[in-house]
Structure 1
Amino acid sequence: MKPKSKPNWTFKSKLGLPVVFIACSFFFFAGLFGSSLFFSQDISVATPRQRLLESVYDLMPFGDSGDDSITIIPFQVLSWRPRALYFPNFATAEQCESIINMAKPSLKPSTLALRKGETTESTQGIRTSSGMFISASEDDTGTLDIIEEKIARATMLPRINGEAFNVLHYEVGQRYNAHYDAFNPDEYGPQKSQRVASFLLYLSDVEEGGETMFPLENGIITDESYDFEKCIGLKVKPRQGDGLLFYSLLSNGTIDPTSMHGSCPVIVGDKWVATKWIRDQEDQD
């Protein structure tokens, strides 16, 4: 008869696997929480996000017109045909309200650049908003100067190539039918310069309607009988502080046919937007 073996009194057998697992988990999460708290304090207080990036990446030598820091401007590509990019939280609510307040006293019915043979009477109803033009140099608050500089960095197109801001207000039912921002010389005559890109800064939320729409996105519409009043295709909903950039010209300098766009009618609320048109040469207007 074999003698009974002595029991193996180990730490595991005394406490049991569940207790050991719980203890290990406790120390693991305690260490994880402590380290995350330490690093979060270090980043938020002593090391801002920009400095953190610069500590990870060696900054390159820069020229006389360059920067000694990294610029962070988040964006999302909405479309490649046309080239359209979305910039969330491009401006603060305070900046948006400041632009609205400076524009309100000078609003007038929006006008159109007329094609050959068109008249003001024949184009009524195409663009029904009100608006005004203001340059950064006319803004004593400095808000437009900050926005204009940020747009230049986002587009990599010089500030001097930009037209004055066109601040627009759309009330219920108002819209802008589909159109191009670039000017076809065959329709508008010879051009000293051409609009390369447009940057729309949404100054207010719109409860319903008011989207910026691209009906020819990716060439989905080829029918020449397209109704310019229709609000179809890729739609971008206005949200205060967000930006929308799209390019009117292709890389070869010709007009991108898919850059046709418009503003859907406002259904509920009202819409405020500041538009910056950027040309291929210094703006002389």
Structure 2
Amino acid sequence: MRIKTVKSSNWSLRTNKLTFPYVFLICIFFFLAGFFGSTLFSHSQDGDGYGLRPRPRLLDSTKETEYNLMTAGEFGDDSITSIPFQVLSWKPRALYFPNFATAEQCENIVSVAKAGLKPSSLALRKGETTENTKGIRTSSGVFLSASRDKTKTLEAIEEKIARATMIPRSHGEAFNILRYEVGQRYNSHYDAFNPDEYGPQKSQRVASFLLYLTDVEEGGETMFPFENGLNMDGTYGYEDCVGLRVKPRQGDGLLFYSLLPNGTIDQTSLHGSCPVIKGEKWVATKWIRNLDQEDDD
């Protein structure tokens, strides 16, 4: 009986010695399993289907806000203007405006412009001629002021552009309505005029707003080959369709600035139109200057 008692006592002692570490390890295991399990679950709920959290959407709001508006000035507005946009680039400053115009508005502009189309021309630099610049710009186009559009579509678009850019309508040139057919293009160029190349300027183009009037099946992108300082080593040939490229979609708008805030030309604002491969590209271009055009005439 004593022997049995001793053996029983030894086994009980061993069991007590082993129980605490095992229980401790089991507790740690279940704690870690629960922690990682809850983390993965929250990722799967908040992510994009691949277990990753989406990038924060800045300045978004899901709540409707009531505004206590100020009294507007003589030419101001008594309501809030909301025009959605996406920043495409800071170098150059380029912003994208989805659904800026309706399909009906785009079709009206194309209809008004068709009758006056002529081969597009270039502003020539010192030493250039019409003959030695052939092939740089191969589209056809027409200049139309809002006052010549009986449908009032251009007037409405011009007013909306002024609100999007916060530059008055009077600073804009007439619309340049352009058509690009298959194979047609516009090699990379600047919209601003360097006085060293073009001579003294009464005013300067600050920004450009492109309203795409049609979808393009393939090609026809607006390209910025120097975006963020790329391709600026002197080897770029002004024809390659590289860098930041914006696909034309009917009704969408593209705004980019040719001048930096200090008034000098932004070297990264070089841009062009890639060749149309399939389909037809129509675009309405509004060039905006730093001076009131009514006073500059």
The answer to whether 1:221 aligns with 2:231 is: yes
Q: How does 1:160-239 map to 2 (within 5 A)?
A: 160-239=170-249
2:292 partner SS:
coil
Can you give the 5+ residue segments of structure 1 that lack an aligned partner in the other structure? 1-52
Q: 1:1-285 counterparts in 2 under 5 A? A: 56-283=66-293, 284=296
Is 1:54–1:70's contact at 8 Å kept on the other side of the alignment?
Answer: no
* Cα distance in 2 for residues equivalent to 1:223 and 1:72: 40
Deviation at 1:120, TM superposition (A): 0.3
Identity level (%): 77
Q: 1:54 to 1:142 in 2, by over 3 A?
A: farther
User: In the TM superposition, what is the alpha-carbon distance from 1:54 to its structure 2 partner?
Assistant: 8.5
Separation of aligned partners in 2, 1:104 and 1:61: 43
* 1: CA distance, partners of 2:248 / 2:192: 22
Q: Which residue of 1 aligns with 2:34?
A: none
Rounded to whole Å, the distance in 2 between the matches of 1:238 and 1:263 is 10
Bigger shift: 110-119 or 61-70? 61-70
CA offset digits 1:48-74 (Å, max 9, x no partner): xxxxx9962211232222111011100
RMSD: 1.4
Are 1:81 and 1:217, in contact at CA under 8 Å, matched by a contact in 2?
yes
TM-score (norm 1): 0.80
Could you list the per-position Cα deviations for residues 112-164 of structure 1 after superposition, in whole angstroms to 9, with x for gaps in the alignment?
00000000000000000000000001111100000000000000011011000
Distance 2:255 2:233 in 1: 26
3-state SS of 2:126 partner: coil
User: Unmatched 5+ residue regions in structure 2?
Assistant: 1-62
- For normalisation by structure 2, the TM-score amounts to 0.77
Change in CA separation of 1:257 and 1:55 when aligned onto 2, cut-off 3 Å: closer
State the aligned residue count: 234
Corresponding residue for residue 8 of structure 2: none
Secondary structure of the residue aligned to 1:151 is helix
